[in-house]
């Protein structure tokens, strides 16, 4: 083994030291992970300075933005499993002593956590940073603004030149999407789980502090190795409660539900959909972040970052401050280091919250017996009853929205987009943003067994379980059925009797999948319900 490795430059002294894997997802298809090569160099420098020998590896990534609204979006959630598996395989096969993983776009973050949990070796996960906000029409904009502008353009409310001008200004440089969308939500979630250093996600992708974070991560991995600080010492039930609390307090992406369920499954920690509803109900929203608020992740960093969020929550008794983090310090000790910028209004006091309850709700009823997820932040209308407009795919729904066929009061139903039905559980940002762009965001509801981007706004229920592809009640819906979503009572129902639903389902037949072989077919055969995190079945 030594002879083999000497051929590519490793010396006997190098190979006598602890070997630290440095994993990343550099890829030339998106801005989210575009700085990973440079950050990997910085992490390796930190490992060497701390007395270890780094070995670099890379894996894949799928851009949710580039694939949104297309067949390609079906690959996004599938990539979570492939990324986790590939990191696990290399680290296990090469018997690394520790591991640092650099993450950026949405699925790389939970995938890294899943891999670290499976391997249970010392290390850290480091976010590569948010994109800077663009500026257009004298306001801050993000890529989500472009999605909504597509709907406005189709409705004649924004000119072609206006749309082109926004497109040119929305994304000024590398980094992950700038609001409290899925990437920034999950980066914060990993900090509050304790797998990433608190505050490390804050510096934007192109900020010089990002290199400092990476160098420090290399040293941190070596310290974790020497102290045998493994994920199983960090990840407790209370750590997951902290992570859900942070997501609720910042009105984070509904994808946090899916991914935290999956990470908990890997860690052997009991976690259910009901936990998210309970924790969110007692957690106020204290961060004024897009898409429901005014500010971006960059503004949060300038205001005091995740440490400030943690200190606010800790002072209010909403955080388990004794929980261990990857730095070897407790969550409470890390929160005490928060520095708040004078005059900032991105993070508000807990006793004067933006909203009294957190940004998530779990609804159940005869349409979703196993539950569905609603993002409640910014909602003014918490209940809706209307006729179902039923679509068998996202493309069909999008065509109806863009052609003006959706009316005020409708309930758009998109089915066969669940984990198995898609397969891959596409995000519906194209549809939801187009509704907002056509000024229907407050008067139309949407129900799907697919999922939503963190940038989604409006009364939208995703992750409907059981999904249509396995014969869930959503498969029985017909055009014009009256559907009610009611957040205060946590219910989602169709105005049909149980017998009527059973009768329709007796006549139902599962549609054939277009995927007969390859990775998509394997995923479809193994994936479990969204209510369990859409993890893959590992036993019959």
10: helix, coil or strand? coil
Cα separation, 260 vs 474, in Å, equals 25
Counts for the chain of helices (H) and strands (E), in that order = 21, 14
DSSP state for residue 24 in the 8-state scheme? E
Helix, strand, or coil here: 138?
coil
CB–CB of 242/283 below 8 Å? no
- Beta strand pairing call for 19-24 and 53-58: parallel
- The single residue listed with the structure tokens 């976690």 is 271
Task: Report which of 444, 22, 521, 423 is spatially closest to residue 222, judged by C-alpha positions.
Answer: 22
Catalytic residue among 76, 453, 465, 531: 453
On the 0-12 / 13-18 / 19+ scale of CB atoms within 10 A, 367 is: buried
Q: Residues 148-176, buried b or exposed e (16+ Cβ, 10 A)?
A: bbbbbbbbeebeeeebeebbebbbbebbb
453 is catalytic: yes
Distance CA 193, CA 231 (A): 10
Neighbours of 392 (CB within 10 A): 15
Distance CA 246, CA 269 (A): 18
Pairwise CA distance, residues 238 & 319, whole Å: 9
Nearest to 531 by CA among 395, 418, 438: 418
Q: Are 377 and 455 within 8 A, CB to CB?
A: no
Taking the C-alpha atoms of residue 102 and residue 123, their distance in angstroms, rounded to an integer, is: 11
> What are the catalytic residues?
453
């Amino acid at each position: 083994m030594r002879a083999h490795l000497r051929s590519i430059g490793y010396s006997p002294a190098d190979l006598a030291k602890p070997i630290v894997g440095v994993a990343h997802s550099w890829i030339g298809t998106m801005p989210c992970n575009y700085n990973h090569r440079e950050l990997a160099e910085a992490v390796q420098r930190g490992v060497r300075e701390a007395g270890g020998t780094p070995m670099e590896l890379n894996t894949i990534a799928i851009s949710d933005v580039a694939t949104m609204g297309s067949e390609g979006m079906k690959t996004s959630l599938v990539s979570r499993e492939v990324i986790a598996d590939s990191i696990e395989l290399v680290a296990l096969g090469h018997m690394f002593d520790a591991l640092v993983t650099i993450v950026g776009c949405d699925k790389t973050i939970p995938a890294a956590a899943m891999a670290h949990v499976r391997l249970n070796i010392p290390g850290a996960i480091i976010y590569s940073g948010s994109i800077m906000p663009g500026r257009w029409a004298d306001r801050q904009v993000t890529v989500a603004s472009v999605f909504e502008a597509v709907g406005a353009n189709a409705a004649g409310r924004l000119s072609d030149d206006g749309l082109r001008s926004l497109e040119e200004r929305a994304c000024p440089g590398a980094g992950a999407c700038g609001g409290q969308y899925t990437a920034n939500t999950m980066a914060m979630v990993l900090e509050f789980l304790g797998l990433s250093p608190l505050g490390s996600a804050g510096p934007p992708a192109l900020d010089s502090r990002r290199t400092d974070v990476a160098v420090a991560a290399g040293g941190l991995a070596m310290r974790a190795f020497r102290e045998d600080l493994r994920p199983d010492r960090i990840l407790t039930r209370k750590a997951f409660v902290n992570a859900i609390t942070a997501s609720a307090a910042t009105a984070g992406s509904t994808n946090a539900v899916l991914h935290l369920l999956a990470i908990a499954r890997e860690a052997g920690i009991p976690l259910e959909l009901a936990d998210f509803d309970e924790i969110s109900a007692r957690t106020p929203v204290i961060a004024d972040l897009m898409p429901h608020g005014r500010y971006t992740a960059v503004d949060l960093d300038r205001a005091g970052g995740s440490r400030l969020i943690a200190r606010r929550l800790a002072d209010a008794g909403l955080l388990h401050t004794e929980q261990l983090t990857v730095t070897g310090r407790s969550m409470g000790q890390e929160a005490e280091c928060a520095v708040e910028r004078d005059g900032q209004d991105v993070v508000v006091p807990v006793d004067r919250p933006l909203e009294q309850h957190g940004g998530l709700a779990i609804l159940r009823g005869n349409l979703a017996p196993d539950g569905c997820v609603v993002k409640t932040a910014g909602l003014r209308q918490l209940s809706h009853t209307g006729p179902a407009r039923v679509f068998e795919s996202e493309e069909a729904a999008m065509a109806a929205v863009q052609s003006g066929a959706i009316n005020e009061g409708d309930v758009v139903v998109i089915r066969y987009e669940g984990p198995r039905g898609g397969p891959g559980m596409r995000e519906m940002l194209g549809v939801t943003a187009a509704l907002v762009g056509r000024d229907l965001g407050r008067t139309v509801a949407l129900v799907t067994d697919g999922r939503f981007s963190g940038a989604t706004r409006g009364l939208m229920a995703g992750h409907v379980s059981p999904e249509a592809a396995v014969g869930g009640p959503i498969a029985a819906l017909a055009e014009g059925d009256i559907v009610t979503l009611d957040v205060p009572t946590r219910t989602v129902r169709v105005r049909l009797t149980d017998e009527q639903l059973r009768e329709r389902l007796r006549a139902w037949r599962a549609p054939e999948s277009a995927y007969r072989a390859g990775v998509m077919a394997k995923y479809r055969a193994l994936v479990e319900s969204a209510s369990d995190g859409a993890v893959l079945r590992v036993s019959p």
